[in-house]
Amino acid sequence: MSDTRSVVEELYRRIGEGEGERESLGELFAEKLEWDIYGAETVPWAGPRGTREEAVEFFRSLPDHLRAEKFEVERILVDGEHAVALGHMRHVVLATGKVFDSPFAFHIKVEGGLITRYITFEDSLALARAFES
Protein backbone atom coordinates (compact mmCIF):
# COMPACT_ATOMS: atom_id res chain seq x y z
CA MET A 1 0.00 0.00 0.00
CA SER A 2 1.91 3.03 -1.18
CA ASP A 3 -0.25 5.01 -3.56
CA THR A 4 -2.16 8.00 -2.28
CA ARG A 5 -5.66 6.60 -2.72
CA SER A 6 -4.84 3.31 -0.98
CA VAL A 7 -3.28 5.05 2.04
CA VAL A 8 -6.20 7.47 2.41
CA GLU A 9 -8.78 4.71 2.02
CA GLU A 10 -6.95 2.65 4.64
CA LEU A 11 -6.88 5.63 7.02
CA TYR A 12 -10.66 6.01 6.86
CA ARG A 13 -11.21 2.26 7.02
CA ARG A 14 -9.27 2.14 10.30
CA ILE A 15 -11.03 5.22 11.66
CA GLY A 16 -14.36 3.58 10.80
CA GLU A 17 -13.38 0.41 12.65
CA GLY A 18 -13.15 2.45 15.82
CA GLU A 19 -11.17 1.85 18.95
CA GLY A 20 -9.69 -1.47 17.89
CA GLU A 21 -7.86 0.14 14.97
CA ARG A 22 -6.92 3.46 16.60
CA GLU A 23 -3.55 2.27 17.83
CA SER A 24 -2.56 1.10 14.35
CA LEU A 25 -3.19 4.53 12.79
CA GLY A 26 0.38 5.55 13.53
CA GLU A 27 1.58 3.10 10.89
CA LEU A 28 0.03 5.37 8.25
CA PHE A 29 1.72 8.62 9.34
CA ALA A 30 5.28 9.81 8.73
CA GLU A 31 7.38 10.47 11.82
CA LYS A 32 7.32 14.21 11.03
CA LEU A 33 4.23 15.73 9.44
CA GLU A 34 2.32 18.92 8.83
CA TRP A 35 -0.99 18.75 10.72
CA ASP A 36 -3.46 21.45 11.60
CA ILE A 37 -7.03 21.59 12.78
CA TYR A 38 -8.17 25.18 12.71
CA GLY A 39 -10.42 26.21 15.56
CA ALA A 40 -11.04 27.98 18.83
CA GLU A 41 -9.03 27.45 22.00
CA THR A 42 -12.13 25.93 23.61
CA VAL A 43 -11.76 22.91 21.31
CA PRO A 44 -9.25 20.61 23.03
CA TRP A 45 -7.68 19.21 19.86
CA ALA A 46 -7.52 22.37 17.71
CA GLY A 47 -4.12 23.47 16.55
CA PRO A 48 -1.00 22.19 14.88
CA ARG A 49 0.85 18.92 15.44
CA GLY A 50 4.12 17.80 13.98
CA THR A 51 4.77 14.16 14.86
CA ARG A 52 3.30 10.71 14.35
CA GLU A 53 2.75 10.31 18.11
CA GLU A 54 0.81 13.59 18.28
CA ALA A 55 -1.41 12.41 15.41
CA VAL A 56 -2.09 9.10 17.17
CA GLU A 57 -2.84 10.92 20.43
CA PHE A 58 -5.42 13.04 18.59
CA PHE A 59 -7.33 9.94 17.46
CA ARG A 60 -6.88 8.30 20.86
CA SER A 61 -8.34 11.31 22.70
CA LEU A 62 -11.41 11.95 20.52
CA PRO A 63 -13.69 9.50 22.42
CA ASP A 64 -12.93 11.45 25.60
CA HIS A 65 -14.65 14.47 24.06
CA LEU A 66 -17.08 13.24 21.41
CA ARG A 67 -19.61 10.54 20.73
CA ALA A 68 -19.75 9.96 17.00
CA GLU A 69 -23.20 9.69 15.46
CA LYS A 70 -22.06 9.93 11.86
CA PHE A 71 -18.74 10.11 10.05
CA GLU A 72 -19.11 9.51 6.35
CA VAL A 73 -16.47 10.01 3.69
CA GLU A 74 -18.49 10.61 0.53
CA ARG A 75 -15.68 11.14 -1.95
CA ILE A 76 -11.90 11.01 -2.17
CA LEU A 77 -10.27 13.12 -4.87
CA VAL A 78 -6.65 12.32 -5.71
CA ASP A 79 -4.04 14.31 -7.63
CA GLY A 80 -0.61 12.72 -7.35
CA GLU A 81 0.56 12.90 -3.73
CA HIS A 82 -2.45 15.00 -2.70
CA ALA A 83 -5.91 13.82 -1.73
CA VAL A 84 -9.01 15.58 -0.49
CA ALA A 85 -11.59 13.59 1.44
CA LEU A 86 -15.07 15.14 1.40
CA GLY A 87 -17.88 14.12 3.68
CA HIS A 88 -20.14 14.83 6.59
CA MET A 89 -19.93 14.28 10.34
CA ARG A 90 -22.19 14.59 13.33
CA HIS A 91 -20.91 14.24 16.90
CA VAL A 92 -22.22 14.91 20.39
CA VAL A 93 -19.85 16.92 22.59
CA LEU A 94 -19.77 14.96 25.85
CA ALA A 95 -19.05 17.97 28.08
CA THR A 96 -22.14 19.89 26.91
CA GLY A 97 -24.46 17.38 25.24
CA LYS A 98 -24.60 19.66 22.19
CA VAL A 99 -24.47 18.32 18.65
CA PHE A 100 -21.74 19.30 16.21
CA ASP A 101 -22.94 18.69 12.64
CA SER A 102 -20.73 19.72 9.73
CA PRO A 103 -19.52 18.92 6.25
CA PHE A 104 -15.76 18.40 6.11
CA ALA A 105 -12.78 18.36 3.80
CA PHE A 106 -9.42 16.87 4.76
CA HIS A 107 -6.34 17.71 2.72
CA ILE A 108 -3.94 14.78 2.93
CA LYS A 109 -0.53 14.40 1.35
CA VAL A 110 1.08 10.97 0.99
CA GLU A 111 4.81 10.61 0.36
CA GLY A 112 6.61 7.29 0.31
CA GLY A 113 3.44 5.51 1.42
CA LEU A 114 3.02 7.65 4.56
CA ILE A 115 0.82 10.63 5.38
CA THR A 116 2.93 13.79 5.64
CA ARG A 117 0.14 16.37 5.66
CA TYR A 118 -3.29 16.33 7.33
CA ILE A 119 -5.24 19.59 7.30
CA THR A 120 -8.86 19.73 8.45
CA PHE A 121 -11.56 22.04 7.10
CA GLU A 122 -14.85 21.95 9.00
CA ASP A 123 -17.35 24.37 10.54
CA SER A 124 -15.03 25.44 13.36
CA LEU A 125 -17.50 28.09 14.59
CA ALA A 126 -20.21 25.46 15.06
CA LEU A 127 -17.70 23.22 16.83
CA ALA A 128 -16.64 26.01 19.20
CA ARG A 129 -20.32 26.77 19.96
CA ALA A 130 -20.94 23.09 20.71
CA PHE A 131 -18.25 23.31 23.41
CA GLU A 132 -19.83 26.39 25.03
CA SER A 133 -21.78 25.72 28.23
The structural domains of the chain, ordered by start, are 4-131 (3.10.450.50)
Report the pLDDT value the prediction gives residue 19, as an integer from 0 to 100: 65
Q: What are the pLDDT digits (tens) for 101-111?
A: 999 999 999 99
The letter for the amino acid at 65 is H
Using pLDDT thresholds of 50, 70 and 90, give the confidence band for residue 23: confident
pLDDT over 80 (residue 113):
yes
Cα-to-chain-centroid distance, residue 117: 11
Q: Which residues contact 77 (CB under 8 A, 6 or more apart)?
A: 83, 84, 86
> pLDDT (tens digit, 9 = 90+) per residue, 31-71?
999 999 998 888 999 999 999 999 999 999 999 999 999 99
Checking 77-80 for CB contacts under 8 A at 24+ apart, the result is 78/4, 78/5, 78/8, 80/4
Average pLDDT of the chain is 93
Residue 6 neighbours by CB under 8 Å, 6+ apart: none
At residue 1, the pLDDT reads 58
Task: Give me the DSSP letters along 10-43.
Answer: HHHHHHHHTHHHHGGGGGGEEEEEEEEE---TTS
* Residue type (1 letter), 67: R
